Structure 1
């Protein structure tokens, strides 16, 4: 059990390190405030961003290794400790001081999210998701995400960070739900990985990555990362309940606790979004704008 705890903490640190490294290149990329899909092609050619991606991948592997040695109810709450790691690492990389209010807000988000993942029952049944339902689900997520992406052009940086992170977290949570179905099928038949669900999962993951990196681009990293940490598992759990037939807390006491945990996480995220501790690099005009990556937007205020 001790090794599982250490693996979970190491995984959380690696995920936070990866995101903090990605933030720097997302901010420094040329162009205006909200980037198009070519933005990702720019990022994958940056060594530091790739290093951040490798660190995040290592974090996922460590998290899975921890899950193989300890219950989900222990590993998942430890995983959200990555928020504090991310706040400190981002401040370290940009030579900013970590404010006490940020740490307290981060702790509130962690406590709320840990409560949510602990209170929701975790089913071991194999999920089933027909292709028409999967197409409808991903279509809705993509349509809402695209509308929010367009609306983000006219929002100030703090609100833009939260909106894009919410939409990115929803897309990544949908990816997690699809991946759960694909993984369950692959356990019985590895060849089943090569089907439409896998293609949908990859497409939604790329779209979620675009929204995620644009959220980091605003300079409000702590708020964006906290929002992603909250929305991703909540959307994944919601799809599990509404589409895959998984369970929800059944007793009134657990339901009240789950609602309180959600409110605590949302309140902490709101505090982080309002914090005046924006990455200073995001306040500078981007150099060498590239019209094939982005277009000028009216919502440049912080």
Structure 2
């Protein structure tokens, strides 16, 4: 169990560093305030963004590895320390000081998310989901995400960061839920990985990545990362509770506690969005961004 603690902390740092690196290229990429799918093709051609992606995947793998060696109640609080790492790294990259206000808001998000995940039951039963339910789930999440993607350009930048990260986190959480079903079905028979659910999970993940990178593009990285950090696991837990039969907090005390922790996480996220610290490069016009990328 002891080895799982440093693995979880290093994994959280890897996720934060990878996301902060990706934000650097997402902000500088040419295009409108809310870029379309070609935006991802541009980012895939940027070595720094790709390196950030590798670190994100590595961090996620380290988090899952740590969960195999210690309880969720130990690993999850360590995992959400990535938000503080992300705030500090972003400040270092943009040469802006970290304010006590940002730290307090980040701690509120971390405490709220940890509390919510603690209070939900955790079962080891193999989940199952039929194709029709999976299509309805992914279709609903993608449909809502498309609507937000089309309208987000008219939102103020702090709101745009939260809205797009919220939709992106929902898509990533849905991907996690679908992936759990796929991996459970493939246990002992890896040929089961070739299925409609796998393609659906992959498509949802790509769409989620588009939304998340556009959230980073707003310049409010801390708010976007906090929203993603909260939404992804909460949606995954919600899918488990509603669709996979994993249950929800049963006692009124646990339910009320989960509500309070959720409100704390939401308050911290909005606190980060209200911060005046915004990446100055995000304020540049699309035309100047195109010029900058050519230099």
TM-score category, normalised to shorter length: over 0.9
Q: Which runs of 5+ in 2 are unaligned?
A: 291-295
Q: Does 1:138 align with 2:138?
A: yes
The correspondence of residues 153-168 of structure 1 with structure 2, limited to 5 A, is 153-168=153-168
Asked if structure 1 preserves the Cα contact closer than 8 Å seen for 2:174 and 2:236, the reply is yes
Aligned counterpart, 1:7: 7
The correspondence of residues 1-302 of structure 1 with structure 2, limited to 5 A, is 1-287=1-287
Q: What's the TM-score once normalised by structure 2's chain length?
A: 0.96
Distance 2:39 2:283 in 1: 19
Distance 1:22 1:246 in 2: 34
Q: What's the TM-score once normalised by structure 1's chain length?
A: 0.94
Distance 2:147 2:289 in 1: 24
Considering Cα pairs closer than 8 Å and 6+ residues apart, tell me whether 1 or 2 has the greater RCO.
Answer: 1
Distance 1:60 1:118 in 2: 19
Distance 1:176 1:229 in 2: 13
Distance 1:146 1:287 in 2: 25
Distance 1:33 1:251 in 2: 45
Does the residue aligned with 1:6 lie in a helix, a strand or coil? helix
Q: State the 4+ residue runs in structure 1 displaced beyond 3 angstroms.
A: 286-290
Aligned counterpart, 2:293: none
Of 250-259 and 265-274, the range deviating more from structure 2: 250-259
Asked if structure 1 preserves the Cα contact closer than 8 Å seen for 2:28 and 2:289, the reply is no
Distance 2:66 2:237 in 1: 20
RMSD: 1.1
Distance 2:161 2:81 in 1: 21
Asked if structure 2 preserves the Cα contact closer than 8 Å seen for 1:77 and 1:117, the reply is no
Does the residue aligned with 1:2 lie in a helix, a strand or coil? coil
Q: Deviation of residue 151 (structure 1)?
A: 1.2
Question: Alignment length, in residue pairs?
Answer: 290
